[in-house]
Amino acid sequence: MSRLNLTTQRKAILDLVQSCEDHPTAAEIMERLRMNGHQFAYGTVYNSLRYLTDAGLIRELKLGETASRYDGRTEDHYHIVCKKCGRVDEVLSAPPADWIREVAAKTNYDVHHSQVVFEGVCYSCKHPNA
Amino acid sequence: MSRLNLTTQRKAILDLVQSCEDHPTAAEIMERLRMNGHQFAYGTVYNSLRYLTDAGLIRELKLGETASRYDGRTEDHYHIVCKKCGRVDEVLSAPPADWIREVAAKTNYDVHHSQVVFEGVCYSCKHPNA
DNA sequence: AATTAAATTTATACTAAGTCTAAATACTAC
DNA sequence: GTAGTATTTAGACTTAGTATAAATTTAATT
Ligand SMILES: [Mn+2]
Ligand SMILES: [Mn+2]
Ligand SMILES: [Zn+2]
Ligand SMILES: [Zn+2]
């Protein structure tokens, strides 16, 4: 509940994540920061990513891989992973409200949130010679 | 592609996972095996869980927690996690085919599979005094 | 049955991702 | 400017899981 405090490090990490076309892991973020001339402590990168996630400025994605990925897009959306090349693309269609209501009714839960990860083969991997 | 080989250890672990009402982690499985009088090496439990998962006899669930959970139910189904007490319940309604088709069309992927994890508050946590 | 070969288990070392700690810096409020 | 709070840093530590190599079990061959 305390007010936002964007230090140099946090700002640089926020800018970087927001500028990414993809969904980098913490390790990839550190690598890119280094390439941009920054050199922050290992722990600071993790602390900042958590801080920015808690502040709602970025999102942490747990896609079932060993490492979390980070996303500059904060609107609710989902992801699809190519099992051939590993790329992660956006899924902007939300699950139908009817289905969510049905799940809530059948499980007796208040459903607050859903994480959806699709798995499949992307266009480039499907058409390798195009 | 080799034929199934259920050793004593693998069989005991399969039986245990299939008998569970819940979705135990590897650590919980080891603990329960020990309580049932078994004493297998740490690595054997992990190896067996992988073997059984690859053989399609059990399922590995990656629900975004730090450890995988295992599931004796092998039909396609989904899960809902209570953010108060941590319990994991079954979700047996599948996402509507229309929605999956829409996702495939918009992303240009061949969609093979989807992982869905709902998050919310379970009945007991909602009605604590009942 | 004895011998060889292949698969599995075991104990233990190692890895990867992330958290924790305590000292050093930086920022705020007075 | 001083005191107090927040953050960064370096490095130790934790957790979940994998890799390795020797020992054991199982299967195949003579
Ligand atoms: Mn995204
Ligand atoms: Mn289940
Ligand atoms: Zn691909
Ligand atoms: Zn609950």
B84-97 pLDDT, tens digit per residue, is 888 999 999 999 99
Does any domain span residue B92?
Answer: yes
Does any domain span residue A64?
Answer: yes
Q: Any CB–CB contact under 8 A between B130 and chain A? A: no
How many C-beta atoms surround the C-beta of residue B10 within 10 A?
20
Identify the three-state secondary structure at position B47.
Answer: helix
Bases of chain C within 7 A of a CB of the protein: 7-13, 16-21, 27-28
Domain identity same for B85 and B64: no
Does any domain span residue B120?
Answer: yes
pLDDT, tens digit, 9 for 90 and up, residues B100-115: 999 999 999 999 999 9
Contact by Cβ (8 Å): B118, A104? no
Tokens encoding B2:
């080799």
pTM, two decimal places: 0.92
CA–CA separation, B64 and A65 (whole Å): 9
H-helix or E-strand spanning residue B105: helix B97-107
Q: A30: pLDDT confidence band, cut at 50, 70 and 90?
A: very high
Ligand 1 centroid – CA A23 distance (Å): 7
Domain identity same for B13 and B63: yes
CATH number for the domain including A97? 3.30.1490.190
Report in angstroms the alpha-carbon separations of A70 from A16, A41, A77, A108, B44: 11, 18, 13, 32, 34
Domain identity same for B37 and B57: yes
Domain identity same for B48 and B33: yes
Domain identity same for B64 and B90: no
CA–CA separation, A124 and A38 (whole Å): 34
pLDDT, residue B130, reads 64
CA of A67 to C1' of D11 (A): 22
Report the gap between the CA of B34 and the closest CA in chain A (Å): 28
Residues above pLDDT 90, as percent of chain A: 91
Does any domain span residue A37?
Answer: yes
pLDDT, residue A129, reads 75
A113–B119 CB contact, under 8 Å: yes
Contact by Cβ (8 Å): A117, B61? no
CATH number for the domain including B39? 1.10.10.10
Does any domain span residue A3?
Answer: no
Domain identity same for A67 and A92: no
A71, A91, A115 - which closes a domain: A71
A53, A71, A89 - which closes a domain: A71
Does any domain span residue A1?
Answer: no
B71, B90, B117 - which closes a domain: B71
Domain identity same for B58 and B93: no
Domain identity same for A86 and A108: yes
State the average pLDDT over residues B113-118.
94
pLDDT, residue A130, reads 65
First to last CA, chain B: 52
The domain tally of chain A equals: 2
State the average pLDDT over residues A10-38.
97
Does any domain span residue B1?
Answer: no
Burial A84-113 (b: 16+ CB within 10 A, else e): eeeebbebeeebeeebbeebbeebebebee
Report the gap between the CA of B61 and the closest CA in chain A (Å): 9
Task: Report whether pLDDT(B51) > 90.
Answer: yes
Domain identity same for B57 and B112: no
Task: Please spell the DSSP secondary structure of A103-128, one letter per residue.
Answer: HHHHHT-EEEEEEEEEEEE-HHHHST
The strand ranges marked E within chain B are: 59-61, 69-71, 78-82, 88-91, 110-121
CA–CA separation, A115 and B129 (whole Å): 30
Quote the domain boundaries for residue B33: 8-71
State the average pLDDT over residues A73-91.
94
The strand ranges marked E within chain A are: 59-61, 69-71, 78-82, 88-91, 110-121
